[in-house]
């Protein structure tokens, strides 16, 4: 594959015909269509969204410019396509699934353009095909996990607790206000993991989250980083968490953590918007295993800024990075001592009009053959207690563990 300034890309197809046509809704739901052999691509919430398989083209990139480079690559590819869209809904026409790394230095940011995309919205279903029509046949049976065993990842629990304690010490010394620290856990099976097993398990347990799968990263996130439709951009900020039986979402610690996250998003989003609506008080989002403080921010975009360009400016928000952002990201790299990869990075899809949906890759695992690398993290502020944060991270890991074991 040719490379240019850290970007690796398959040769761009030219003159490729792309057609979106309406079809009957799949009887078993979108996830039932995914074949194992051709890779699972998903962005589904409450039965609606997009799935895809096969591969027409791929972008990979590293560095601070990866968002702009991905956007430029996508625009060049779109210029070579002959698109017929008979449906005209968000998610129809040419679509790329996206998953970008948390840190600038991490390799692995990708855009994947699938050969076949099937979508559902508002009771209507469609298929988008690149090239000749593709028959939708029954997918192979999903393979469940067999005999899982767990092992320490790059940052075990003891190391995570020590990292939290050191972060709290630095915050109390006035070095920074917040940092979102994470650790990892390995789930090793006897055979390669089937991504569809984890994807379906998470979708069933967390129907109000976005169940995603892109290039082996599989998860279910409650946090919408950005949605862009036309001139409207939206974001759901989650920060401040409690798990059953401990803590209060109304605590000063959770309120402060949430305020940092909302303020950082609004600050980064405002230059792209003619107007911006920021709620004065958060609401509560209750999930299967934890509850979060949530704020929905909405703005009207100035000019033609694309979803990827805006995402490059707002990522990472204080919810998954910290405050001040540069200090927090540096502290994360120092104290975690591991490469997060695409955990806590933007994940979702982008469309031909520059819009789409990107969530934050949380409650997820990176699958590589028989090894699943699970991640979970917490927002740390000066009032954080290391033992409480360890338990909170364990509660978040439980989401993926239950889905793998189910």
Catalytic residues: 178, 223
Phi–psi pair at 397, nearest 5 degrees = -65, -30
d(CA 119, CA 357): 14
Residue closest to 49 by CA, chosen among 349, 324, 360:
349
DSSP lists the bridge partners of residue 21 as 127
Q: Could you tell me where the beta strands, DSSP code E, fall in 38-78?
A: 41-45, 48-53, 57-61
- 5 C-beta neighbours (distance < 10 Å), count: 9
C-beta separation of 197 from 404 below 8 A: yes
Cα separation, 119 vs 43, in Å, equals 9
Q: How far is CA 231 from CA 53, 87, 122, 300, 317, in A?
A: 30, 20, 21, 5, 22
| Rounded Cα gap, residues 184 and 393, in angstroms | 10
DSSP 82: E
Q: Which residues contact 300 (CB under 8 A, 6 or more apart)?
A: 231, 232, 233, 273, 274, 275
Which among 129, 35, 139 is positioned nearest to 83, based on CA atoms?
A: 129
Instruction: State phi, psi for 245 to the nearest 5 degrees.
Output: 90, 0
* Distance, CA of 298 to CA of 284 (rounded, Å): 18
- Torsion, CA 3, CA 5, CA 355, CA 120, rounded to 10: 30
């Amino acid at each position: 594959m040719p490379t240019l300034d850290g970007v690796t890309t398959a040769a761009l197809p030219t003159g490729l015909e792309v057609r979106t046509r309406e079809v009957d809704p799949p009887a078993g739901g979108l996830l039932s269509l995914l074949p194992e052999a051709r890779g699972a691509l998903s962005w589904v919430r409450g039965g609606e969204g997009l799935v895809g398989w096969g591969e027409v083209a791929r972008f990979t990139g590293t560095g601070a410019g990866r968002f702009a480079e991905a956007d430029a690559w996508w625009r060049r590819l779109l210029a070579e396509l002959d698109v017929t869209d008979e449906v005209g809904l968000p998610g129809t026409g040419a679509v790329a699934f996206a998953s970008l790394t948390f840190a600038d230095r991490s390799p692995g940011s990708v855009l994947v353009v699938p050969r076949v995309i099937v979508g559902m919205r508002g009771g209507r279903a469609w298929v988008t095909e690149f090239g000749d029509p593709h028959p939708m046949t029954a997918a192979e049976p999903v393979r469940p996990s067999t005999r899982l065993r767990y092992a320490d990842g790059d940052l075990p629990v003891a190391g995570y607790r020590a990292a939290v304690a050191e972060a709290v010490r630095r915050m109390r010394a006035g070095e920074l206000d917040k940092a979102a620290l994470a650790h990892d856990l390995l789930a090793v099976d006897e055979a390669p993991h089937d991504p569809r097993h984890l994807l379906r398990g998470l979708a069933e347990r967390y129907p109000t989250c976005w169940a995603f799968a892109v290039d082996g990263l599989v998860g279910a996130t409650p946090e919408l980083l950005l949605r862009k439709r036309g001139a409207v951009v939206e974001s759901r900020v989650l920060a401040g968490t409690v798990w059953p039986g401990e803590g209060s979402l109304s605590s000063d610690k959770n309120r402060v953590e949430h305020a940092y996250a909302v303020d950082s998003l609004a600050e980064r989003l405002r230059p792209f918007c003619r107007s911006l609506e920021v709620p004065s008080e958060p609401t509560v989002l209750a999930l299967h295993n934890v509850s979060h403080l949530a704020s929905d921010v909405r703005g009207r975009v100035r000019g033609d800024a694309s979803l990827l360009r805006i995402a490059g400016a707002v990522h990472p928000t204080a919810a998954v990075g910290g405050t001040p952002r540069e200090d927090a990201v540096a502290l994360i790299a120092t104290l975690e001592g591991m490469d997060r990869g695409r955990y806590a990075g933007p994940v979702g899809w982008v469309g031909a009009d520059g819009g789409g949906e990107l969530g934050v890759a949380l409650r997820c695992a990176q699958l590589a053959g028989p090894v699943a690398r699970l991640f979970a993290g917490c927002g740390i502020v000066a009032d954080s207690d290391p033992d409480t944060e360890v338990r909170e991270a364990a509660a978040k890991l439980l989401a993926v563990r239950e889905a793998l074991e189910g």
